């Protein structure tokens, strides 16, 4: 485990940053945009967890368990994106098909409790749901940056599918958080 005794290094003052494996790249490279946005997504989920912690209920405990798992998966995903494919070593964490399937199962379970969506909804509701909706939009941006990165560089096979399912899962989880707290959804008015 790395041990940080000092946060600043001054090595990035020239507009570059180090990635896993030791190579330095421009701070505006597609790889940095991709894993930087995954980091932003992870932070937004941390905010949703903070709002969720304000309520003590079985629903909030269920949400906490899901979000804690997702944050760890996103940290692994960020680390995976922060390295060149040739620097990946066996045993390093990365997202896999099982992570994608777990998100699908989560959505199926929550949707069974929600019922069908018959109208477009506006993001919002309780604080947890609103934060999850914001996380969903950041997740879509992270997905777009990973698609762009994959055009020029190799990334993990399940990076884009994971982010695609995660954005859907965050939407469903936001709806479920509102329902669990008795907050009505705001429907889009034409």
User: In 3-state terms, what secondary structure has residue 6?
Assistant: coil
Question: What is the predicted pLDDT for the residue at 55?
Answer: 84
Question: What is the predicted pLDDT for the residue at 58?
Answer: 87
Q: 9: which DSSP letter?
A: -
- Give dist(CA 170, CA 41) in Å, integer: 11
Average pLDDT per run of 10 along the chain, which is 190 residues long?
68 67 75 94 98 89 96 95 83 92 97 89 94 98 97 93 98 96 88
Domains of the chain and any CATH numbers: 28-85+92-114+121-182 (1.20.1200.10)
- Give dist(CA 187, CA 103) in Å, integer: 25
Token duo for residue 59: 């629903």
Give residues with Cβ within 8 angstroms of 48, minimum separation 6: 67, 128, 131, 132, 135
Question: What is the predicted pLDDT for the residue at 185?
Answer: 87
Nearest to 149 by CA among 32, 23, 27: 32
Token duo for residue 51: 């709002």
- Give dist(CA 105, CA 35) in Å, integer: 26
- Give dist(CA 179, CA 176) in Å, integer: 5
Dihedral (CA of 79, 97, 146, 117) sign: negative
Question: What is the predicted pLDDT for the residue at 12?
Answer: 65
Q: How many CB atoms lie within 10 A of CB 170?
A: 30
Q: Are strands 186-187 and 121-122 parallel, antiparallel or unpaired?
A: antiparallel
């Amino acid at each position: 485990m790395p041990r940080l005794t000092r946060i600043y290094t001054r090595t990035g003052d020239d507009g570059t940053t180090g990635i896993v494996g030791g190579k330095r790249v421009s701070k505006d490279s597609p790889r940095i945009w991709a894993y930087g946005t995954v980091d932003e997504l992870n932070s937004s989920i941390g905010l949703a967890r903070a709002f969720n912690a304000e309520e003590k209920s079985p629903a909030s405990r269920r949400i906490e368990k899901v979000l804690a798992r997702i944050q760890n998966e996103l940290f692994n995903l960020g680390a995976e994106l922060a390295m060149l494919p040739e620097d990946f070593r066996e045993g390093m964490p990365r997202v896999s098909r099982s992570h994608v399937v777990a998100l699908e199962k989560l959505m199926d379970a929550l949707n069974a409790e929600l019922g069908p969506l018959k109208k477009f909804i506006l993001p919002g509701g309780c604080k947890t749901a609103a934060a999850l909706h914001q996380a969903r939009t950041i997740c879509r941006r992270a997905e777009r940056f990973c698609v762009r990165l994959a055009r020029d560089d190799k990334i993990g096979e399940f990076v884009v599918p994971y982010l695609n399912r995660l954005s859907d899962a965050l939407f469903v989880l936001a709806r479920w958080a509102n329902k669990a707290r008795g907050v009505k959804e705001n429907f889009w008015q034409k």
